[in-house]
Amino acid sequence: MSVPPPSPSPSPSYEVWALAGIPEVRPGDDLARLVADAAPGLRNGDVLLVTSKIVSKAEGRIVRADSREEAIDAETVRVVARRGPLRIVENRQGLVMAAAGVDASNTEPGTVLLLPEDPDASAAAIRAGLRELLSVDVGVIVTDTFGRPWRAGLTDVAIGAAGVRVLDDLRGGTDAHGNPLNATVIATADELAAAGDLVKGKADGLPVAVVRGLGHVLGEGATAAQLVRAAADDMFRLGTSEAVREAVTQRRTVRAFTAEPVDPAAVRRAVAAAVTAPAPHHTTPWRFVLLESEAARHELLDAMRDAWIEDLRRDGKTEESIAKRIRRGDVLRNAPYLAVPCMVMDGAHAYGHARRDTAEREMFVVATGAGVQNFLVALAGERLGSAWVSSTMFCRDVVRKVLGLPEDWDPMGAVAIGHAAEAPRERVERDAERFITVR
């Protein structure tokens, strides 16, 4: 007797559909009750995708607004990028999105909808309500529409979640060919939100969708807040002009460094930024000597220290006073990386007139300072701390001799570079108006 071959395993599949029968939602409505009435056949393992607009309406997040811009201002905690009237901001929920999620569509004229106060809590409340009403264990995702870096167009993503594993971390596993998965973390909740958007539509009056057949995505303890990338890991935290301003304002003088090594490529990128500074007569007055070896740093700093001690003794300072001053100068010695910016005056004009020759040199000094400032700001953008110290300017002959530099290279201080050992102190606010004169 022949035995029939086993039936092939069914291919993975799921169903997704929009719920009909959800009425216009008003403040105070019980969303779990409305969903239960529209979908009494919900099953364990189903995932409910709920548009944030109806959650906001039910929770009374409708405000009168003479101007949508005013509402956006009130909901914004940080401007990420601005282009014309469009603003990408971080809102009170910690979400980075256009217009802080303030929506003037599908609401009465003269009003706007704010996002739910706590979308994760909203999802948890709907889930608990459905468990009580229908005795089912479902996942709930509150969705909203986002744009995305790198990509054109909009899609729905999860801003609140309950009972769903929002992220599927595959790191440590292997692919079908046995290759290790080192960076694969799937945004499961966002994928579900986008699937629901395909059937809900934006203007069809269908604010809720159900996904069936993916019961494995259910799980306890996860929230949509986990989908928001931490600031320290966010490479796109700011727009272009905002990033420039942030790097400038966040640059600090760092005097204590960790032992973590400095990436030489990061310093070279900072040099590339430095040499874009303006300079007179189309010249290039900047040179950067990079002391990457510990031996080179110690040789220079020892020679500078000896020269400084000699100067202080000539000035009549006591040995105790000299020791204190030397200790205060240890910021360069404690840094794992040093750069010595130098000025060259190739292309300078010689006028043979003291006043004009002095002004010519000052132009080159200003241009070199602009390059050093670019360098420091670029280092901050590379997440490297730095401290510009003027000491090499007081012993240029010593520096040139130790580093083997040409006589026409003028050391313009030194920059200590490394990873900050502690958070910088808050910068004292300066009123820009105090530094402005208008004629």
List of E strands, 59-214: 62-64, 76-83, 86-91, 96-98, 111-113, 139-148, 151-162, 168-169, 185-186, 208-212
Q: Are residues 267 and 358 in the same domain?
A: yes
pLDDT digit string (tens) for 255-303? 899 999 999 999 999 999 999 999 999 999 999 999 999 999 999 999 9
- Report the pLDDT averaged over residues 177-204: 85
pLDDT digit string (tens) for 306-344? 888 888 888 888 888 888 777 766 778 889 999 999 999
Residue 310: domain span = 251-424
Q: Which of 202, 233, 264 is the last residue of a domain?
A: 233
Q: Are residues 263 and 351 in the same domain?
A: yes
Q: At what angle do helices 354-381 and 264-274 cross, to 10 degrees?
A: 140
User: What pLDDT shows up at residue 56?
Assistant: 95
Q: Are residues 118 and 220 in the same domain?
A: yes
- pLDDT for 174 beyond 80: no
- Report the pLDDT averaged over residues 171-197: 83
User: What pLDDT shows up at residue 329?
Assistant: 62
Residue 210 sits in a domain whose CATH number is 3.30.1330.100
CA dist 404 and 163 (Å) reads: 67
Partners of residue 160 on adjacent β-strands: 142
- Report the pLDDT averaged over residues 40-51: 96
Q: Are residues 21 and 66 in the same domain?
A: yes
User: What pLDDT shows up at residue 4?
Assistant: 62
Inside any domain, residue 122:
yes
Mean pLDDT, the chain, rounded, equals 89
Q: Are residues 208 and 153 in the same domain?
A: yes
Q: Which of 182, 202, 233 is the last residue of a domain?
A: 233
The structure's pTM equals 0.67
User: What pLDDT shows up at residue 351?
Assistant: 87
Give the angle 138-187-88 at the CA atoms, nearest 5°. Answer: 110
> 251: Cβ–Cβ under 8 A, 6 or more apart, which residues?
376, 377, 379, 380, 386
Assign 430 a pLDDT band (cuts: 50, 70, 90): confident
Alpha helical stretches, state H, 253-293: 264-274
CB 209 within 8 A of CB 22: no
pLDDT digit string (tens) for 12-23? 899 999 999 999
User: What pLDDT shows up at residue 125?
Assistant: 97
Structure tokens at 16: 């997704």
Better-scored residue on pLDDT, 219 or 205: 219
User: What pLDDT shows up at residue 289?
Assistant: 98
Q: Which of 170, 200, 233 is the last residue of a domain?
A: 233
Structure tokens at 62: 């409708």
Question: 75-99: b or e for each residue (b if 16 or more CB lie within 10 Å)?
Answer: bbeeebbeeeeebbbbbebebbbbb
Range in 5-9, 172-176, 184-188 the model is least confident about = 5-9
Structure tokens at 346: 């190739």
- pLDDT for 417 beyond 70: yes
Inside any domain, residue 10:
no
pLDDT digit string (tens) for 141-170? 999 999 888 889 999 999 999 999 999 888
Inside any domain, residue 345:
yes
Assign 3 a pLDDT band (cuts: 50, 70, 90): low
Assign 381 a pLDDT band (cuts: 50, 70, 90): confident
Tokens 């303890």 correspond to: 221
Q: Are residues 222 and 274 in the same domain?
A: no
How many domains does the chain divide into? 2
Assign 236 a pLDDT band (cuts: 50, 70, 90): confident
Q: Are residues 228 and 262 in the same domain?
A: no
User: What pLDDT shows up at residue 7?
Assistant: 60
CA dist 363 and 320 (Å) reads: 40
Task: Give the distance from CA 145 to its chain's centroid.
Answer: 21
- pLDDT for 73 beyond 80: yes
User: What pLDDT shows up at residue 139?
Assistant: 97
CA dist 88 and 96 (Å) reads: 7
Q: Are residues 227 and 261 in the same domain?
A: no
